[in-house]
Amino acid sequence: MAQNLKYKRILLKLSGESLMGDKSFGIDPQILEYFAKEIKKVHQLGVQIGIVIGGGNIYRGLNAQDQGIDRVTGDQMGMLATIINSLALQNTLENNGIYTRLMSAIKMEEIAEPYIRRRAIRHLEKERVVIFGAGTGHPYFSTDTAASLRAVEIEADAIFKGTRVDGVFDSDPEKNPAANRFDEITYMDVLKKNLRVMDLTAISLCQENNLPIIVFNMDQPDNLLKLVTGKSVGTTVSNFENSK
């Protein structure tokens, strides 16, 4: 069935904050279960899935200096937070009958495999969901950049960025009810308009490698399923001439 899909290999980017649900901190088990079931629907179709999840529900490195912690140490703490989230998601996916592998950019063999590109691709080919933890393994790089880097490395067809809004808007739709949503937008316009899709490094990496970014509402059931089967959901960020 995979041959009828628009996207056969994807990189799903989730924020750490999305795991909080209505909580102010930590992980909501109901959200984990919901994400696992949405991912399972797509996995059952034969889509190869890589996942990068942030750590902002546990620790944000960008706020480290406000707490008297230097930036490098704060970013390292943030990387470890992504591992905690990755382990939680891995456990929930496997409870739903999905084989997974957690690969870390930082060596911690007792918990996760070290990230090796060829091994990651082989896992995907064997229909295992691969979760990429610890960001890029280096400070000063966000998990958005890690998602873009891993997506390029595994030759994903697109990055699916799951959010709680319906795509990319010209202003914050949660603050401005009259905000306009883009169906399509170029990487360059995202940068020019200073839209908060991903950070500059992540957008530039996708632009250089013609890797589409699809921003969609992960909180809406079946949106992920609709996307992989070619239905129009959310906003596609690309070079228009390469997306047609």
How many domains does the chain fold into?
1
213-217/235-237 β-pairing: antiparallel
CATH of residue 119's domain is: 3.40.1160.10
Cα(95)–Cα(84) distance, rounded to whole angstroms? 17
The helix (H) or strand (E) run that includes residue 145 is: helix 143-153
Tokens 């060829």 belong to 118
One-letter identity of residue 3: Q
Q: What are phi and psi of 125, to 5 degrees?
A: -65, -25
- What is the extent of the structural domain holding 41? 2-243
Per-residue pLDDT tens listing for the chain (244 residues): 445 799 999 999 999 999 998 888 899 999 999 999 999 999 999 999 999 999 999 987 656 667 788 989 999 999 999 999 999 999 999 999 999 999 999 999 999 999 999 999 999 999 999 999 999 999 999 999 999 999 999 999 999 999 999 999 998 888 888 899 999 999 999 999 989 899 999 999 999 999 999 999 999 999 999 999 999 999 999 987 544 4
Q: What's the angle, vertex CA 144, arms to CA 141 and CA 150, rounded to 5? A: 90
